[in-house]
Amino acid sequence: MAEPYQEDTPGVSMKGVKISGRPLYLDMQATSPVDPRVLDAMLPYYLSRFGNPHSRTHLYGWESDKAVESARSQVSALINASPKEIIFTSGATESNNISVKGVMHFYREKKRHIITTQTEHKCVLDSCRHLQQEGFDVTYLPVKPDGLLDLDELRAAIRPDTGLVSIMMVNNEIGVIQPMEEIGKICREMNVPFHTDAAQGLGKIPIDVEKMNISLMSLSGHKIYGPKGIGALYMRRRPRIRVEPQMSGGGQERGIRSGTVPTPLVVGFGSACELAMKEMEYDDKRITALQKRLLNGIREKIDGVVVNGSVERRYAGNLNLSFAYVEGESLLMGLKEVAVSSGSACTSASLEPSYVLRALGVDEDMAHTSIRYGIGRFTTEEEIDRAVELTVHQVEKLREMSPLYEMVKEGIDIKSIQWSQH
């Protein structure tokens, strides 16, 4: 076990927490490090080739424009689309806003209803709330206990005035993969545009916009070892989907997203997509093996460990676990040497249990003990083994202090206890 920390030992101290070095990083759903090869591709566009890609009169503009168009092809190749269907944005949040608000505003005369799920990312749910305030109808579909959508419920929810179905591909908190092809098929039959937030799926699972019949798709750079602040929106051309732009300006990106396109970021995003295409299969095999090592390592030593979300239909790099009879915040605090989270980075400031886990019907006490381990391209076996060792140690320590765990070991059914009110 690590030595007790002395105040005078060199180390890292931040927010009142002192540790001997930087923690090992297992929070890949929040963000990923930039791949060094991506940074290499980006640097020239910060230093010598700094032109504005929209400058039409000189070499600086032309070379930047060429680099942007080349990146557009790299992004579209990864999802089997045409480069003309890619709009560069600041990230998946912006792409989700353009998709949800933009489509419903454009077709507002005829279409007044939108369908999404209760486990979507906050920015989709918030865009839907915004539309509700404007008088649109929103159906928030529940999910099954494994986190997957019931396709019959989706079909039943579609109405003649449904303007959009928005369902995320890979969930950011629990990593479950929704049945995209089946959803796409239902949307095609019913003639409703299908939007998906694929920020957590891009470069990790095979995506084909034709097979999945996707009309709009939100993509992000920093989840696939690219830079932060860049993303894209895939917009189908045949049959054509129209949106109302959310940003007014110089009409860049086909008028959908005005503002100077940031060449270095776009080049980095394109490069990250090309690397993902080449290495997806290798990464997936490696990450799957590391995920098994992590789960088996923890389960060999402690009981009462539950995997949240479907075990079969999930992305291997996301392992969301609940530990019975342990308070989640105490566990996170005790795991200072491992950078993990208890849910999405966007909502990690609130002490409410995750709304995604609540939607799965997870008990409030178990929802509070969830930890999300995010494994990525650069995660090593040593890091996994250390994470197992620290997690097991911390869970055992907290359970030793837990009177509830004592009672359970003695065979008392906690749920049947009538706690008296004082």
**CA 418, CA 408: separation in Å to the nearest integer?**
15
Using a 10 angstrom Cβ sphere, with 0-12 exposed, 13-18 middle and 19 or more buried, the burial of residue 135 is exposed
Contact 414, 404 (CB under 8 A): yes
In the 8-state DSSP scheme, what is residue 398?
Answer: H
**CA 20, CA 327: separation in Å to the nearest integer?**
25
Place of tokens 């097979």: 211
**346 in active site:** yes
Encoding tokens for residue 146? Answer: 């494994």
**CA 392, CA 397: separation in Å to the nearest integer?**
8
Contact 366, 306 (CB under 8 A): yes
The identity of residue 293, as a single letter, is R
Nearest alpha-carbon partner for 252 in 53, 51, 49, 61: 53
Q: Taking the chain, what is the end-to-end CA distance rounded to the nearest angstrom?
A: 41
**CA 44, CA 65: separation in Å to the nearest integer?**
14
The residues that are catalytic are 346
